[in-house]
């Protein structure tokens, strides 16, 4: 009877150990699919520089630059989105042109993080027009930058595409915050 009791205990311990190992192996896959981020994909044939603006509990922030190679994606902000509206400015390094809009925020040529959107020039920054991305209060979002001939878009699971201005062209009419007013 002692042998069978040990055998049952050993089987339970091995079963529990196998289950724990399987859970550890699956954990990275589960956390990747559950990640909520703000991402941008460069679906062009040029290298692109990207800046992002957003409002959190501490106020407005603009950050840059992310340099995206041809046909690549980058996570700009990690974690669950804290706002409904985000703002993007992007530059086509190889062919010129930009993706811009009428929401003005502070930037500079070098890597930056700027708090606030007021008095950019007086504070030593450039005043740059960003285009608005309405995430519809989703937890994660991906913006797609495309060539002029392609239809650009932003996406979340089940969300309709948002048109993004192609390089070298003005922002479409649906991206229309007043010149000095951002949400």
Output 155 or 60, whichever has higher pLDDT.
60
| Res. 108: pLDDT tops 90 | yes
If asked whether residues 18 and 57 sit together in one domain, one would say: no
If asked whether residues 27 and 51 sit together in one domain, one would say: no
- Tell me whether residue 112 is in a domain: yes
Of 31-40, 88-97, 170-179, the least confident: 170-179
Mean pLDDT of all residues belonging to the chain: 74
Of 17-26, 55-64, 99-108, the least confident: 17-26
Give the mean pLDDT of 32-51: 87
DSSP states along 9-36: HHHHHHHHHHHHHHHHHHHHHHHHHH--
If asked whether residues 2 and 65 sit together in one domain, one would say: no
If asked whether residues 25 and 43 sit together in one domain, one would say: no
| Res. 159: pLDDT tops 70 | no
Of 56-65, 110-119, 121-130, 156-165, the least confident: 156-165
Output 94 or 163, whichever has higher pLDDT.
94
User: According to the model, what pLDDT value does residue 26 have?
Assistant: 29
- Tell me whether residue 59 is in a domain: yes
Q: Please give the tally of structural domains in the chain.
A: 2
If asked whether residues 73 and 147 sit together in one domain, one would say: yes
If asked whether residues 88 and 67 sit together in one domain, one would say: yes
State the chain's maximal CA–CA distance in angstroms.
Answer: 86
Looking at the chain, the whole-number percentage of residues with pLDDT higher than 90 is 58
pTM: 0.66
Distance CA 90, CA 100 (A): 7
- Burial degree of 50 (CB within 10 A; 0-12, 13-18, 19+): buried
| Res. 96: pLDDT tops 60 | yes
Q: Which residues are bridge partners to 72 per DSSP?
A: 42
If asked whether residues 63 and 131 sit together in one domain, one would say: yes
How long is the chain?
A: 183
Under the banding of pLDDT at 50, 70 and 90, the label for residue 68 is very high
- What 8-state DSSP symbol labels residue 117? S
Is residue 162 a contact partner of residue 154, using CB atoms and an 8 Å limit?
yes
- Tell me whether residue 42 is in a domain: yes
Give the mean pLDDT of 38-44: 96
Give the mean pLDDT of 29-48: 77
- Tell me whether residue 175 is in a domain: no
If asked whether residues 84 and 64 sit together in one domain, one would say: yes
E strand or H helix at 126, and its extent?
strand 126-134
Q: What is the span of the domain harbouring residue 129?
A: 37-155
């Amino acid at each position: 009877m002692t042998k069978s009791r040990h055998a049952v205990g050993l089987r339970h311990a091995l079963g529990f150990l196998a289950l724990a190992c399987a859970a550890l192996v699956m954990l990275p896959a589960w956390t990747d699919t559950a990640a909520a981020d703000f991402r941008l994909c460069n679906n062009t044939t040029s290298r692109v520089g990207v800046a992002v603006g957003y409002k959190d509990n501490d106020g407005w922030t603009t950050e840059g630059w992310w340099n995206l190679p041809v046909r690549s994606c980058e996570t700009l902000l990690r974690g669950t989105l804290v706002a409904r509206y985000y703002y993007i400015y992007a530059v086509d390094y190889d062919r010129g042109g930009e993706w811009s809009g009428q929401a003005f925020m502070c930037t500079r040529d070098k890597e930056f993080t700027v708090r606030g959107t007021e008095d950019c020039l007086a504070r030593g920054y450039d005043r740059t027009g960003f285009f608005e991305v309405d995430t519809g209060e989703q937890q994660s979002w991906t913006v797609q930058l495309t060539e002029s001939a392609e239809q650009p878009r932003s996406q979340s699971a089940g969300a309709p595409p948002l048109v993004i201005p192609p390089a070298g062209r003005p922002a479409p009419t649906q991206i229309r915050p007043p010149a000095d007013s951002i949400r």
